[in-house]
Amino acid sequence: MSVQNPLRLLDLAGMSLLRDEASTITALKDLPTELFPPVFMEAFYGRYSETLKAMVQAWPFVRLPLGGLMKVPHLGTLQAVLAGLDILLAQKDHPRRCKLRVLDLRNTSQDFWRMWSGYRVHGCSSSLMAQVAEDRSRTKQPRAPLEVFIELHLKERTLDGFLTYLIRWVEQRKASIHLCCKKLRILSFPMENIMKVLSMVQLDCIQEVQVNCTWHLSTLAMFAPLLGQMNKVQRLLLSHIHVSALERQEQQHVVQITSQFLRLHHLRDLHLESHSFLEGCLDQMLR
């Protein structure tokens, strides 16, 4: 017979608090910092929306790595957290205890939750230590728009409900929210939707771009002005660019593309599976 590990007092305290959601919300002002992550996890997995909303407004850390708890994006949880942020953003004076500056919706930062829930015994990983250092530096800066980090894998014909809700929410609060993405991956997505999504994103945050689908040269030319604004891009992959006989005679698309490449001063890794459209002008693009 296997013996299950008994629940810790920390776990039991969190479960006890959430039996009465109203009391939990009232107790947040006196809740020890070390109890916030385990109680948040209990509220997240138990779908206690009102508790999640209240905890966001009192979150004592710079970063809330919500994506680390979501193996699959959950719209209801997102709505509760964003509702809490709305209340926080509407307050003239930022609550003294709340240090929240970054909402991270990427599927990363599991170490944060493991550390606070007791699964990690031998200290923090180097990546977590680097993140903590980065977060501490943010607290020393003047209050700035809240940063929301997401992973962008555009692979459907239409936007899914999770991303649609987030984009609409950001669109209505562009002055106080910066939507950030470090890696952009496009797999068969209409250009109209690409431009709609990227119009909400801080393009100078993107560091890697992968286009894993076949584009016509004219489509790449439409995308090029957006690419030119991604001036922090370090890695660029373009899989297949289809060039018709007619397009070979129309060099304005090539000029529009290469002119934007020249703005990518941080580019270190360029991968082109179809490069025939650069025939005769490769030196201009790489100069």
CATH number at residue 173: 3.80.10
Q: What local confidence, expressed as pLDDT, does residue 5 receive?
A: 56
Percent of the chain with pLDDT strictly greater than 90: 41
Given pLDDT bands bounded at 50, 70 and 90, which one contains residue 132?
A: very low
Residues 57 and 182 in one domain: no
Is residue 139 a part of any domain in this protein?
A: no
Range of the domain at 175: 145-286
Is residue 84 a part of any domain in this protein?
A: yes
Q: What local confidence, expressed as pLDDT, does residue 248 receive?
A: 57
Residues 110 and 154 in one domain: no
pLDDT over 90 (residue 146): yes
Is residue 129 a part of any domain in this protein?
A: no
Residues 22 and 56 in one domain: yes
Q: For residue 215, report the phi and psi dihedrals to the nearest 5 degrees.
A: -115, 145
Residues 168 and 81 in one domain: no
Residues 172 and 238 in one domain: yes
Residues 27 and 90 in one domain: yes
Tens digit of pLDDT for each residue in 27-68?
Answer: 888 888 888 998 898 889 888 899 999 999 999 999 999 999
Is residue 16 a part of any domain in this protein?
A: yes
Residues 91 and 152 in one domain: no
Predicted TM-score (pTM) of the model is 0.81
Is residue 238 a part of any domain in this protein?
A: yes
Can you tell me the distance from the alpha carbon of 20 to that of 262, in angstroms, rounded to the nearest whole number? 59
Q: What local confidence, expressed as pLDDT, does residue 59 receive?
A: 95
pLDDT over 70 (residue 137): no
Of residues 194 and 17, the one with the higher pLDDT is: 194
Residues 153 and 279 in one domain: yes
SS3 state at 222: helix
pLDDT over 90 (residue 234): yes
Angle at which helices 126-139 and 110-117 cross, to 10°: 90
Q: What local confidence, expressed as pLDDT, does residue 278 receive?
A: 76
- Mean pLDDT, residues 119-124 taken together: 39
Residue (of 32, 6, 2) closest to 17 by Cα position: 32
In the chain, how many domains are there?
2
Residues 149 and 115 in one domain: no
Last residue of a domain, one of 66, 101, 119: 119
Q: Residue 185: beta bridge partners? A: 153, 210
